[in-house]
Structure 1
Amino acid sequence: MTELVIKGRVVTASGLIENGWVAVADGMIAAVGTGKAPAAPETQDFGAAWLLPGAVDGQTHAGSQIGFPGMAPTTKAAVIGGVTTIVDMPYDHPIPVTTASVLQEKVRAIHQHAVCDVALYGTVPPTPDLSDIRGLVDLGVCAFKISSFEAHPDRFPRIDNAATLTLLHALEGTSLPLGLHNEDQEIVAHATKTLKEAGKTSAEYHSQSRPPVAELAATGTFLELAASTGAHAHIVHISVPEGFEMVRAYRDRGLQATAEMCVHYLLFDADIDMPRLKGLLKVNPPVRPRQMEALWCVLEEGLCSFVSSDHSAWPLERKTNDSIFDVAAGMPGLEVMLPAFFTAAAKRKSDVEAALLTASYLADRPARFFGLSKKGRIAPGFDADIAVLAPENYVYDANANPDGPGWSAYQGMIFSVRPSATFVRGRKVFGGAAVTETPGYGRYIPRRG
């Protein structure tokens, strides 16, 4: 029996349904159509608003600062932005997700703190343990992630080539991607040292301290290691088009090779925005100068797998040091990823094309990539995860979220659509002004193929 009908401009994988409706039963989508809707105890009519599949953010860092309780503010930010599932990275504070027991603890935290659904990455220490890898796979991690650059010796260590090869072999036959944070340790260390010695420590030197060659060298080494195995190699963020071309070349050789795009690379230019935003825009790999157009072309050619936020909501004091080398890398993006991407796409295409592109790159593609078989589409049999975007200009204000960090590189930007409601498994968790669901509604979603 239909319990809820949601009306609006329905964005499906096959096209737009004007004057459409979505029928919900038991948290699932029972039917989608236009014209007369099924009878239901409750109908919510959003008029000309877009009804998109809830976004699946394939790269978030909920626990990197306050540990697993970080699930609460992170998932609240998600639903405010129309994100209904986050895929959380394993580099939590103080212990990364390297064993089944740590994963189980994180799952308990999801069921205690989250208001949207959560899938999880696993990782390995510098000396991988095959039994721990198997334990994480058995408990449904959707991917593994490692780094070629050490951000912290324990929480975010560098995994050398021998250990990487061990992990790649262990993942053969599992279908799980192995994601890489792709920066070369020695190149970054040398470039940073040279700039510091020259007194070049202001924000505009961040890109030079982690030059594209560091990114490309790490990417190429990783792909060549993967080419000697049958594993799936994935680059979690590429900031220059040459990196995506490199991934395509390996894919053409028959390797399972993929790469994702972070939304900030499509919205910011280091030459224009770094002097203005300074440490607020520091991410690794850096936002580059004069790359936005080329990266949009990469996306439109289908060379990236999906778009993510790489959300990391550091407190403001960690982002405002005079030296860019003493500023934490990462920035919040969950609240803005969906409206920011839609707005930027609509400047290049029609509104309908922008809606379809958004639904593909921010929902359907990441859901399929991570094996989340009930997520990412408005179609019968899928979870009733729906983001409602009102077609109206609004000025983004990071301070509107009382649980957020109170700052954003996107502060003051004007978006052409506004998240006005978010449904997770048929329940409205955000009503346009505030989160309406209590912590603990979110569920851990294991990989299912």
Structure 2
Amino acid sequence: MTELVLKGRVVTASDIIDNGWIAVAGGKVSAVGTGGAPTAAETQDFGSAWLLPGAVDGQTHAGSQIGFPGMAPTTKAAVFGGVTTIVDMPYDHPIPVTKAPVLHEKVSAIQRYAVCDVALYGTVPPRPDPADIRGLIDLGVCAFKISSFEAHPDRFPRIDNAATLTLLQALEGTGLPLGLHNEDQEIVAHATRTLKEAGRTGAEYHSQSRPPVAELAATGTFLELAASTEAHAHIVHISIPDGFEMVRTYRGRGRQVTAEMCVHYLLFDAETDMPRLKGLLKVNPPIRPGQREALWQVLEDGLCSFVSSDHSAWPLERKTNASIFDVAAGMPGLEAMLPAFFTAAAKRKGDAQAALLTADYLADRPARFFGLAGKGRIAPGFDADIAVLAADHYIYDAKTNPDGPGWSAYDGMAFSVRPAATFVRGRKVFDGVTVTETPGYGRYIARQR
């Protein structure tokens, strides 16, 4: 029996259905069409609004500050922005997800706090244990993540080349990607020390402290290590086109390598935006000057696998220190990612192409990349995860989310579409104003191999 029908401009994987409808039964899409809709217990007509597959954000940091309870505000921010599944990074406070018991605790937190669905990364300590790696795989992590740069000796350590190679070899034959935070430790340390000694500690020096060569050196080393194995190597964020070209070169050699685009690299330019936003715009690798247009070309050429937010909602006091080197790296992006990407894409391609690009890069591609069966498309048999975007020009204000940090680098930006409702597995979890579902509705989504 059809329980729910949603009406609007339906965006499928390949087409836009004007005056379309989506039929939902048992939390899944049962049919999609136009014209006369099936009889249902409930019908919600969104008029000319876009009905897109709910976004799958492939890079979030829910637990890096307050531990697993961070799953509550993070998933609430997700549904505020039309994101129905998050893929959460393993660098939680105070213990990263390196062993099965820690993963069990995080899954329990999802079942207690989450209002949208959640897939999980795993990681390793500086000396990986193959038994722990296998334990995480067996429990359904969708990928592993390591860093060539130490942000914290325990929670976010540097993994050296020997340990990286061990992990790559352990992942052969599993299909799981190994993601890298790609910055060279020594280059960054030297550049930062040099700038500090010269008294150059303003926000405008952030990019110089982590120069492109640090990013490219780490990327190249990682890809070469991966090329000696049959594992899947993935760069979780690249800020310059040269990095994507490097990935393309290795792919041309027949290696399984991919790269990810973060939405902020497509929206901001360090030359114009860093002076006004200062530490609010600090991310690693940095947003660069003069690269935005070239990075859009990277996306349009198909050189990135998908687009993510790299959401990290630090409290404002961690983002407003006088020295950029004392500011926490990362910024909230879950609420803004979908409307920001759609708006920017529409300026380049028009609304229809923007809708298709959004469905592709923010839903279908990440769902397939992480092996999340039933996610990422509006099609029969898939979960009824739907983001409703109203064609409503508005000014973004992060303070409208009472559970958010109250600030955003996106504050004051004009968007051409507004999240008007979010459905997770056929249930409305956001009504355009407030979160309407209780914590614990979200589910842990294991990777399907």
TM-score tier by shorter-chain length is over 0.9
- Corresponding position of 1:5: 5
* Alpha-carbon distance, 1:210 to partner: 0.1
Deviations 1:257-293 (A, max 9, x none): 0000000000000000000000000000000000000
- Corresponding position of 2:169: 169
After superposition, residues 348-427 of structure 1 pair within 5 angstroms as 348-427=348-427
Aligned residues: 449
Q: What fraction of aligned residue pairs are identical, expressed as a percent?
A: 85
Please tell me the residue identity of whatever aligns with 2:185.
Q
> What SS class does the counterpart of residue 387 from structure 1 fall into?
strand
Pair 1:160 & 2:160 matched:
yes
Deviations 1:50-78 (A, max 9, x none): 00000000000000000000000000000
Please tell me the residue identity of whatever aligns with 2:183.
E
Please tell me the residue identity of whatever aligns with 2:133.
I
- Corresponding position of 2:224: 224
What is the CA–CA distance in structure 2 between the aligned matches of 1:234 and 1:148, rounded to whole Å?
13
* Alpha-carbon distance, 1:350 to partner: 1.5
- Corresponding position of 2:286: 286
Please tell me the residue identity of whatever aligns with 2:147.
S
- Corresponding position of 2:186: 186
> What SS class does the counterpart of residue 334 from structure 2 fall into?
coil
> What SS class does the counterpart of residue 365 from structure 2 fall into?
helix
What is the CA–CA distance in structure 2 between the aligned matches of 1:318 and 1:203, rounded to whole Å?
14
Pair 1:16 & 2:16 matched:
yes
> What SS class does the counterpart of residue 243 from structure 2 fall into?
helix
Deviations 1:128-180 (A, max 9, x none): 00000000000000000000000000000000000000000000000000000
- Corresponding position of 1:111: 111
Please tell me the residue identity of whatever aligns with 2:171.
L
Deviations 1:297-351 (A, max 9, x none): 0000000000000000000000000000000000000000000000000000011
> What SS class does the counterpart of residue 349 from structure 2 fall into?
coil
* Alpha-carbon distance, 1:373 to partner: 1.4
Please tell me the residue identity of whatever aligns with 2:76.
K
What is the CA–CA distance in structure 2 between the aligned matches of 1:20 and 1:108, rounded to whole Å?
38
Please tell me the residue identity of whatever aligns with 1:436.
T
Please tell me the residue identity of whatever aligns with 1:400.
T
What is the CA–CA distance in structure 1 between the aligned matches of 2:366 and 2:177, rounded to whole Å?
12
* Alpha-carbon distance, 1:443 to partner: 0.2
- Corresponding position of 2:252: 252
- Corresponding position of 2:145: 145
- Corresponding position of 1:233: 233
Runs of 4+ in 1 over 2 A off after TM superposition: none
What is the CA–CA distance in structure 2 between the aligned matches of 1:159 and 1:442, rounded to whole Å?
32
Deviations 1:220-268 (A, max 9, x none): 0000000000000000000000000000000000110000000000000
What is the CA–CA distance in structure 2 between the aligned matches of 1:12 and 1:54, rounded to whole Å?
11
- Corresponding position of 2:311: 311
What is the CA–CA distance in structure 2 between the aligned matches of 1:268 and 1:125, rounded to whole Å?
34
Please tell me the residue identity of whatever aligns with 1:171.
L
Deviations 1:165-199 (A, max 9, x none): 00000000000000000000000000000000000
Please tell me the residue identity of whatever aligns with 1:23.
A
What is the CA–CA distance in structure 1 between the aligned matches of 2:413 and 2:14, rounded to whole Å?
31
Structure 1 unaligned spans of 5+: none
What is the CA–CA distance in structure 1 between the aligned matches of 2:113 and 2:205, rounded to whole Å?
39
Please tell me the residue identity of whatever aligns with 1:326.
D
What is the CA–CA distance in structure 1 between the aligned matches of 2:260 and 2:155, rounded to whole Å?
23
RMSD of aligned alpha carbons: 0.3
Please tell me the residue identity of whatever aligns with 1:99.
K
Q: TM-score, normalised by structure 1?
A: 1.00
> What SS class does the counterpart of residue 121 from structure 2 fall into?
strand
What is the CA–CA distance in structure 2 between the aligned matches of 1:394 and 1:437, rounded to whole Å?
25
Please tell me the residue identity of whatever aligns with 1:357.
L
What is the CA–CA distance in structure 1 between the aligned matches of 2:9 and 2:399, rounded to whole Å?
30
Pair 1:46 & 2:50 matched:
no
- Corresponding position of 1:80: 80
- Corresponding position of 1:205: 205
What is the CA–CA distance in structure 2 between the aligned matches of 1:306 and 1:212, rounded to whole Å?
21
What is the CA–CA distance in structure 2 between the aligned matches of 1:57 and 1:41, rounded to whole Å?
31
What is the CA–CA distance in structure 2 between the aligned matches of 1:337 and 1:435, rounded to whole Å?
18
Deviations 1:88-126 (A, max 9, x none): 000000000000000000000000000000000000000
- Corresponding position of 2:65: 65
